[in-house]
Amino acid sequence: MDWSKTKTIFILAFLVLDIFLAFQYQEKMKSNKYDMITQTTIEEQFKAEDIKYEDLPNEVIEGSYITAKSKQFTEEEIQNLHNQEPMFPNDEQLTPVTKLRMSFSEPIPLPAETDKMTNKLNQVLTSQIVAGDQYRFWRYDEKTKQVIYLQEYDGHVIFQDETDGIGMIVFYLDENREVVSYRQTLLEDIKELENKEELYTAIQALKVLYDKNDLKSKSTVTAVDYGYYTQIPLSEQQILAPTWHIVVNEQEHYYVNALEGQVIKPEKTNVE
């Protein structure tokens, strides 16, 4: 064995490896520098346009589309709901339904303070509602006397346009601030559709709105939440996209597909 030649081969191999690793490191540094410059440019641009926002999530996250099925509530499940009566038109026979509408035999009084009200409703959810622990308080509409809860998946809300939503509960209150009935839809068999990919960050989602002229000068971003959304709820199988929900000036609601950067603005935001 020629040790001199072998040593030369090892030296050349390590030299090539060092060059390759140095190249990879340089490219990564360039990429990170580009990302920092891009984000800085967006922030400076918003500052120049007097666009205000606070406490944006800044971590780069990964996600994918998810699929889910609309649960069919069975006759047995409905009959096991104590102190409640189903609300079906024309006294229809109980059959599996995907949209459950129930009334309470005795109205449930709610405290005036929002925190105490949600605590009371959380107790109702865990004790009197099918899979109630899967929902999170979303908002209280004092005008329509409705309290909206949205379903969660993996710690993130499944957003709804609240007109014909999937995976949500709407509590209906009377004039005395008592819960008299509710309607419920529930998603089950939730699965990730494909491998996870890097998503648009919150600041990048705002940039998408800005480029589409939906985020204008002197605007204030009042809420930013990450979750899942489908523009067209289907009767059974659902496909939901990882989504940024952005509220501008406390009244304009936008949804930005965090995988593709598409902007969706629902036509309605009130519960019917």
For 90-115, the pLDDT digits (tens) are 555 556 888 999 999 999 999 989 88
Q: At 116, is the secondary structure helix, strand, or coil?
A: helix
Distance of CA 223 to the CA centre of its chain: 13
- Name 13's Cβ contacts closer than 8 Å, sequence gap at least 6: none
Contacts of 268 (CB under 8 A, 6+ apart): 161, 162, 163
Residues 6+ apart with CB under 8 A from 71: 98, 131, 185, 186, 187, 188
Q: How many helices (H) and strands (E) does the chain have?
A: 4, 15
Which are the contacts of 190, defined by CB distance < 8 A and separation ≥ 6? 66, 67, 68, 153
- What pLDDT shows up at residue 194? 76
* Positions in the chain short of pLDDT 70: 1-40, 60, 89-95, 161-164, 233-236, 267-272
Cβ neighbour number for residue 140 with a 10 Å cutoff: 17
pLDDT of residue 173: 97
Q: What is the pLDDT of residues 148-170, one digit of tens each?
A: 999 999 999 999 866 667 899 99
pLDDT at 12: 46
Residue 156 has a pLDDT of 93
pLDDT of residue 18: 46
